[in-house]
Structure 1
């Protein structure tokens, strides 16, 4: 069954017993992300830790973090919360207008760098050879961390930003080392990588820095149009699981007929 509780105002639901020592760190991750998200409609509503793939979803029209109960750590939470930040930049009229296009512009420029073979670190364990653009390798955890598993920053600008922001917040020294490594392999990485660090710093202060050229912005907005929003959680569950989730998130929706009866207390025979 689910274990439901709040911690410093943030909602959590977990499928089974969990070491709660990590939870204050995850609370801070959500609070930090929500501090950047000024539009209430896009703020992260809470976090559910269960036997599922870690991801950002919509639940009852609000962003919700889902964390895989076997990989509950701050870096994963930062990555998923960063998807909420990007969603806000991409969709909210209250977000800094230049934020999403500038992220996409950097993604496109770094994706155009030389393909390099290196080792991904899959969640199943071990390593596997793969080839990706040098400028995108640098933000994958396999390159800036000794333990975190690989993500997929090469998929699109949303995944790129989530990995880049997670690297920047989790291990800035490791990220700079990865940038240096891939700059040596392709010097074209250097300029956009420096701009990425500057943009991440600016965004943390609610700024975006210098505007893009008209050509670059047009190209970035065309790319943005193809990036999907998170899926709606209710659409991925059958009716029974939807009802269970509803009860878990809001026990007040359980009527007296749906609550399990308490066992009768009997005296000695």
Structure 2
């Protein structure tokens, strides 16, 4: 399967269609909004899988608003291009006098190892290095355990676990071997990694997110001493596109049940995690963390 990259003027190199948002220089001038230097992502390169929509898109938006260059990786080139165009518009509206950081789109099936390898090679070629990786690609499914077909179960684990493993292996090698980058890797888990939510039945999803959380702890133990911080973020009920689609089938009763279990009495909006993801990506957290 051919990997394709994106932009806003066409380039053709080695048979790969390639477009990129223009930039005035390799170094983006510091923005005027005041914040602690520890939280700055100026001139960092952030890669987010599953960032054509949902939480992944919110994370990439937060990075771009914080001055970082960004790579959007997802299944559809068209969706990736739409995502970075939307993000660029938000950044331009927020900082009309500043240049928009470089944003690129990459079509990739992260469950296929060869696809990941070719995509990652292109990302490194385009940006020179990667400072931050967020693995946000994932799916959710509600099926009783006794009725869960093997193929469906396998798909859940492949997407929620295997894709992360392939991408993490490439990034880990890049940071450790080639550039000695003391970067940040963030795996998106879920509160379902540690609790069994109700009333929906999702043994496969819970299993996959529990594995993601343990993978983060394992990698933090292996790579932490070598300067790479690995953490997991475990969101609760979020009004993402994925959940909205699920609720269309399950109905308002499910929302009511969830909100009764939430102290604030409401589901969270995806943008409410922007500050959290920027903090985790920045130099500030010097110890492994696992926000719930």
Q: TM-score w.r.t. structure 2 length?
A: 0.29
Higher relative contact order (CA 8 A, sep 6+): 2
Q: TM-score w.r.t. structure 1 length?
A: 0.31
Larger radius of gyration: 1
